[in-house]
Structure 1
Amino acid sequence: MTQGSDIYLHDADVPWQDLGGGVRRKVLCYDASVMLVRVVFETGAVGAAHHHPHIQCTLVASGRFEMTIGGAKRILTAGDSFIVPTDVVHSALCLEAGELVDTFAPMRADFAG
């Protein structure tokens, strides 16, 4: 595992990264095959349209989001989830402050410190 030397990671030991625009990210545990990431959004914050070669599975932990994946828009709230296939354009608009928990496979080298 790259993040920490043990198989366990304490949230308090990992700093938040301020991405600007009302978005903060915390990269949690990962290895070459998978990565877990917390992302907190303020109301009105935007995750700009982008794509990547990783498969992304996301849990809406709290808040309310308008997600656009491959041109299809949906409103998602706490407990909802979604998957973004490889290289599909996706974006997020935070309608009510909240948190997304992302899993990427393989891990995102651009997020790893």
Structure 2
Amino acid sequence: MSEGLKTITYPVKDLARAKALFGALLGVEPYADETYYVGFRAPGQPEVGLDPNGHAKGLTGPVPYWYVGDIRAILADLVGAGAEVVQDVQDVGGGTLIASVKDADGNAVGLVQEAP
């Protein structure tokens, strides 16, 4: 079961320009500012992430990340419902797990399981 949509990640080619654009849009500085990911947290909004490697991973648009309690079970359910795995479960640090799939129309759906 999903805990809700909490993050939207955009694949970007020019990280500096994207960072300036989303900083202006959200009115906040990034809380994470790395070469591989820039993240913004604005009050009342889902986290906005910028992924400079997203296009190389085959992403063509934003990826909504749904937070779930059991990422492997939900991933299996989504595959059973016809989704195709784009990124299998991966630990991105501190025990936080992510994965992504695409639906029959090619829409990306991301999953996150926060560290216990």
After TM superposition, the score normalised by the length of structure 2 is 0.31
Greater strand share, structure number: 1
Greater helix share, structure number: 2
Compare relative contact order (CA 8 Å, sep 6+) and give the higher one, 1 or 2: 1
After TM superposition, the score normalised by the length of structure 1 is 0.31
